[in-house]
Amino acid sequence: CLFFALSKNKMTVSGGDSYQGNNGINNLLNDGKFLIILVVNFLTMGSQVVIMLFGAIFLIQAKQCSLGEAGAALSVFSIFMVIGRVVCSRLSMRMKHASIVLVLLWFQAVILLLIWQGSGWFALVVLATSGFTFSGTYPTLLALTSMLFPTREGTALGLLSTMGGLGSIVLCWLTGYVAGLTNIGIGFIVTILACSSALILFQFKYSALCRRETRED
């Protein structure tokens, strides 16, 4: 709510897709740009929830941090999520939404690699501050979707929210499954691959999304 209150492109409730039914869903799913946004949201939201649920276990088992240190890191992670959303809401007044998402995806991929490769205290600090990069992705994708698909806004945002939830379920299960077969350090690679895949997909369609956003602005 805070992101959209401060964003220059306020989301408005549109009734344009109220009676489109399955046709509206099919049209959206046949749009390559929307599919990219949908998959990126699936991967990034899932990764965010994995960090929140498995972050403490990763720090304790893979980086030999204490329970208190790991708990403090996740608390700071939540604080940085709030800061990140405020900052992204202000950036949306000066930058394209697609550009904000791309920058956040690059930061996520790099930060996750640093967490995975870093030593105890370094990994702890980087994980704590990573809340900043994860926090802005979802609301910015919502704002971008609202702008690109104004006549099918309700359907588009509903699909986006659903895919975010599914991403959380699938990536949490997959991370836990891989970690159970090996260890939490290897399980963490699932999140790295998810965010890297999201970055590659979004980078592939970035120019087209920027052109579309410019036309709709």
Q: How confident is the model over 60-80, as pLDDT tens digits?
A: 999 988 899 999 999 999 999
Range of the structural domain that residue 208 is part of: 32-216
Q: What residue type is 74 in one-letter code?
A: L
Residue 2 domain-assigned? no
Q: How far lies 176's CA from each of 30, 31, 51, 201, 208, in Å?
A: 33, 33, 12, 25, 36
CATH number of the domain encompassing residue 182 = 1.20.1250.20
Residue 209 domain-assigned? yes
State how many domains the chain has: 1
Residue 12 domain-assigned? no
Distance CA 59, CA 55 (A): 6
Residue 20 domain-assigned? no
Residue 111 domain-assigned? yes
Residue 134 domain-assigned? yes
Residue 26 domain-assigned? no
Residue 19 domain-assigned? no
Q: How confident is the model over 145-189, as pLDDT tens digits?
A: 888 888 787 888 889 989 999 999 999 999 999 999 999 999 999
